[in-house]
A = this chain, B = another copy of it.
Amino acid sequence: MVYAMTSYTRFTVAKSSPSLWRVTFDNPPINLIDAVMMKELLALLTEIERDKRVGVVLFDSADPDFFLAHYDIAGDPADLEGVETTPGRHPFTDLHIRLSKSPAVTISAIRGRARGAGSEFVLATDIRFASRERAILGQFEVGVGAAPGGGALNRLPGLVGRARAFEILVGGQDFDGELAERYGYVNRAIPDEQFVEFVDAFAQRVSRFDLLALADIKRFVNAASLPADLPLGAEIDAFWQAADRPAFPALHSQAFEAGYSQRGPVELNLGEFVGTILADPDTYSTR
């Protein structure tokens, strides 16, 4: 088990009441999910699971342009090796499974970009509110040579139906708040000027309700609708297999050269960008 840390470096935790925790991502320059953030999120989950009074955990971002950019693929994988997780599970899969099964209600307040693993993090939370003007969601991974591996393949069909799941996943495009709402990718898109007030009022309201009633709701809705653990594990395995194919490093080196993982136009418009690169520009891939 990961033991609760006394402090976090990739996000802050503010408890406005014993039952309402606000977790604010703050990992400049663009809120990449790196190994340290993953370790800290796993530690936070342990805190949540052990606490007897937290009813609602609200996730937001200190950066209005980036909620969670995506996974830090350039990070050192060795950074993850010390993490203790549920045996047999990749830490990322473990994080998402425990997040969905946590007795607390989890809410993502999405302003800025949530793509790739950032999109998958919000898909693993219970409720997603999006700023109509500022939120951008997407699964761009297909454009850099892999299917997503952190749950999108298993979670999206139940949320948006298989046809819209295919469109999101094979298109790799950016979805703004309005289209994300029409597709069910988020619960609702709220005008940005009302966004903070709306989300805070909702979170506070829920946090005052009876904790056992909330836990019962989570238990039954999870039983009725949560994807099974097993295909979530298969999904991450397939991702790492894809990463061993030539297309993956070829596309990533083009992307990094252009500004991938840095604050700038490529990350601001990543959906559009991945449509401009090819693993082998002179030919098409085969199966």
Contacts and interface: CB of A to CB of B under 8 A. Distances in A.
Interface of A: 17-19, 52-53, 55, 103, 105, 126-128, 141-143, 145-147, 153-154, 156-167, 169-173, 181-182, 184, 186-187, 202, 205-218, 220-221, 223-227, 231, 234-235, 238, 242, 245, 247, 251, 275, 278-279, 284-287
Contacts of A216: 146-147, 153, 238, 242
Q: 10 shortest A-B CB distances, which residue pairs?
A: A153-B220, A157-B225, A147-B216, A162-B225, A126-B166, A211-B287, A52-B286, A210-B247, A211-B285, A147-B217
A224 B231 contact: yes
A20 B164 CA distance: 20
A163 B127 contact: yes
Nearest to A222: B162
Given A172-B209, A211-B286, A287-B211, A221 B160 contact: no
Given A127-B163, A159-B161, A163-B128, A279 B217 contact: no
B105 A170 contact: yes
User: Most chain-B CB neighbours within 10 Å: which of A17, A19, A210, A214?
Assistant: A210
A245 B204 CA distance: 23
Contact of A167 (B187, B209, B211, B278): B187
A273 to B, nearest CB: 12
A61 B232 CA distance: 39
A170 B181 CA distance: 19
Nearest to A278: B208
A231 B234 CA distance: 26
Contacts of A159: 161-163
Nearest to A216: B147
Contacts of A205: 171-173, 275
9 contacts: A52-B287, A143-B209, A146-B210, A147-B220, A162-B224, A163-B187, A205-B275, A211-B286, A220-B234
